Amino acid sequence: MQTVDVGELAVSAYRTVAPDWILDALGTVAERLRGARVLHLSATPYGGGVSELLRSAIPLYRDLGVHATWKIVSGAPAFFAATKKLHNALQGATVPLTLAERAVYEETARRNAAEESFRDWDFVFVHDPQPAAVLSFADKAKAKWVWRCHIDTSQPQPEAWDYAAKFVDGYDATVFTLAAFVPRSLAADRVDVIPPAIDPLSPKNLSLDDRTAHAVLNWIGIDPARPLITQVSRFDPWKDPLGVLEAYRLVRDEVPGLQLALVGSMALDDPEAWDVYRAISDASRADPEVHVFTNLTGVGNVEVNAFQRTSKAMVQKSVREGFGLVVSEALWKNTPVVAGRAGGIPLQVADGSGGVLVGSTEECARELSALLADHARAAALGASGHQRVRRHFLLPRLVLDELTLLDGLAH
């Protein structure tokens, strides 16, 4: 296991952005947990929503007086191939893990468990299926263990869930993003529902003036003076990047000069991403207005920030989605979204705010085209989305919910 270094954050900095009642409640619950030792375990230090969350949440825990540390499990490529398969099967794909893949998964968990003394911790927060089996091989000691599931487990492949449940059953508590994701076999008294959140002060979300945002995009080959639509997400079939390309093709003739950017990150635990990247690159090679970027070619947080601010609309055409932090990230910047009616997305795009939910490529194209033609509606949707994110999906609310859960387990 490897410790991930994070920066520093002061909870007081959120006074100007997050609602007061959340910050006040956070101070009260943190007081009850002062000095507690919390280990967060995940699979990758970069790429994807979990690393995004932990990079900001850990410093906030610390500023609140809770000793938090973030570690990642180590594993060989065969382990990450197996865990991506398990992730896909838990989201409903029909391919179960082979016996050999199960053996790699369990052996890796056993090795990681042996490297850590869990006596040092009061709470262990384990994120997603990749490290879920560590508990089964650990000396649980006095620590309370929480399994935090970030993916859409509403319709898991049954054999995959039965397999994961063997490891999840030992946890003191489980956390899901939506009630609809909670598998029936879990006892209700060990389930909490907590949606994730974005950090409004991170380089990805902090305020950036138009001039800077435009300069950032110009430098990587986007013309900020022409209309732009963008999807930011790991290159993952569940995010349907080829469907976004298709929707763009249906819209481009109606919108002169339209550009499409597909911005995708390569995560350590996501070996499928290269195949998807190649498929997108091949499918878009002939169109100079389609731009494909990755974190490996230097498109990082500030560039994503600039894309989310400058695009006329953000697309998130997911067909399965745990939460989709990218939706809240866009809305925080007042940019409307056209997004798949999947998983946690309708929680963010709700009550007519933020954007439009779609169920097919044609619908996505139609809604994009309508939004690009109506600036006033686009601006109103973006503004209402911003307010919804402020109330429900900012980091202090997430840390408040997590600490409240830990407090409940401890007292």
> Footprint of ligand UDP on this chain (CB under 6 A)?
48-49, 52, 204, 232-234, 263-265, 295, 301, 304, 322-326, 329
CB of 330 to ligand UDP, least distance (A): 9
Task: Pick the closer one to ligand UDP by CB: 114 or 296.
Answer: 296
CB of 245 to ligand UDP, least distance (A): 16
Task: Pick the closer one to ligand UDP by CB: 87 or 312.
Answer: 87
Task: Pick the closer one to ligand UDP by CB: 308 or 369.
Answer: 308
Task: Pick the closer one to ligand UDP by CB: 71 or 204.
Answer: 204
CB of 142 to ligand UDP, least distance (A): 31
Task: Pick the closer one to ligand UDP by CB: 30 or 299.
Answer: 299
Contact status, residue 241 vs residue 235, Cβ threshold 8 Å: yes
Angle at alpha carbon of residue 230, lines to 225 and 233, rounded to 5°: 150
CB of 119 to ligand UDP, least distance (A): 31
Q: Going along 73-149, which residue ranges are E strands?
A: 123-127, 144-148
User: Across the strands, what pairs with 357?
Assistant: 339
Task: Pick the closer one to ligand UDP by CB: 58 or 143.
Answer: 58
CB of 21 to ligand UDP, least distance (A): 26
Strand arrangement, sheet containing 144-148: 2-3, 67-72, 37-42, 123-127, 144-148, 173-176, 191-193
Question: How many CB atoms neighbour CB 100 within 10 A?
Answer: 10
CB of 291 to ligand UDP, least distance (A): 12
Task: Pick the closer one to ligand UDP by CB: 136 or 155.
Answer: 155
CB of 253 to ligand UDP, least distance (A): 28
For residue 158, with 0-12 CB atoms within 10 Å meaning exposed, 13-18 middle and 19 or more buried, which class applies? exposed
Extract the tokens encoding 192.
């909490």
Report the residue closest to ligand UDP, judged by CB: 49
User: Using CA atoms, how far apart are residues 329 and 75, in angstroms rounded to an integer?
Assistant: 31
CA distances from 112 to 122, 178, 341 (A): 18, 29, 37
Task: Pick the closer one to ligand UDP by CB: 122 or 152.
Answer: 152
Contacts of 154-157 spanning 24+ positions with Cβ under 8 A: 154/92, 154/178, 154/180, 154/181, 154/343, 155/92, 156/89, 156/90, 156/91, 156/92, 156/183, 157/89, 157/90, 157/92, 157/93, 157/94, 157/95, 157/96
CB of 402 to ligand UDP, least distance (A): 17
